[in-house]
Amino acid sequence: MTVMTLIQAVNDALKHEMRRDDRVVVFGEDVGVKGGVFLATEGLQAEFGKDRCFDTPLSECGIIGTAVGMALYGLRPIPEIQFLDFIYPAFDQIVSEAAKMRYRSGGEYTCPMVIRSPYGGGIKGGHYHSQSAEAYFCHTPGLKVVIPSTPADAKGLLIASIRDEDPVMFLEPKRIYRTLKQEVPEGEHVVPIGKGRIVREGKDATVIAYGAMVGICEQAAELAAKEGRSVEIVDPRTLVPLDEPLILDSVRKTGRCVVVYEAPRTCGYGAELAAIVAEKAIEYLEGPIVRVAGFDTPFPYTLDNLYMPDARRVLRGIQKTFQW
């Protein structure tokens, strides 16, 4: 075991898979010589050469279109989109080509590729570097959507994604790239796609969160404990496919549910989580399902800390479920 930050764990996973499988190629804006804007690909070009880790023009559509072609011809491309906010020029390639390939070919072709991109706020990047757009991709059949919340999960889930036969959106919460450290298994480490985890066990309320919000919810759970409330935290880890049984078992046990996400509140992925709980566990609920989320505005530059949920806002959400 080695102590790593989340960004180091991503780098370690990329190196592990590139050494294991010479079909794996990494490319994107500044990922080669520079090693990426956050240094996630640092050292890859030096070790594997320019044919397997290379810089591209500033064209997200071109990056993803190239990756689709590579995947269809037997490679395992890992294109990086520098910030998730920049992905929209490539949206058609992702949802109309990569996501549809298995279905439109009757299963004859798959499109094994991992689209890596940092997402979310917390670095005062303003509204062009802070968006949480995961719901767009969760709405697209044929895509898997993975969001790690710890270094160990980042490595294990990324390796699993690279080996998957379908296209995966691998979204990395940049707020905790370097602020969170954890022991990470060396060498082979795979975390299955579609399996969530219980971050903290509790009996009075369930809080569902992913990405950088998991740590915030852990802080809120500590505050709730001082009030005598035992909070269970569930991290889905993969939004598509979703580990519904884990979430529902937790809610049925606690009788209360708070969903936390940093995207805008309306039609955010947390709304889907709330709907699932309402449809399949409403008879167990002892209070309202509460969403704690970002606001329905562009992401503000100077009010970054007010836009994103913090421990106090999550605590108020927990308290609301007891006021029924």
Give CA–CA dist 228/265, Å, rounded: 29
Give CA–CA dist 220/238, Å, rounded: 22
At 278, is the secondary structure helix, strand, or coil? Answer: helix
**Pick from 32, 38, 8: nearest CA to 186:** 8
Catalytic status, residue 129: yes
Q: C-alpha distances in angstroms, 237 versus 234, 246, 263?
A: 9, 11, 16
Q: Could you say which of 16, 127, 129, 139 is catalytic?
A: 129
Torsion angle of C-alpha atoms 262, 263, 265, 267, degrees rounded to 10: -140
**Pick from 312, 314, 309: nearest CA to 122:** 309
- Six token digits for residue 104: 């439109």
Sign of CA dihedral 312, 195, 95, 34: positive
What is the edge-to-edge ordering of all strands in the sheet holding 144-146? 53-55, 24-28, 76-80, 114-119, 168-173, 144-146, 238-240
| Active-site residue list | 129
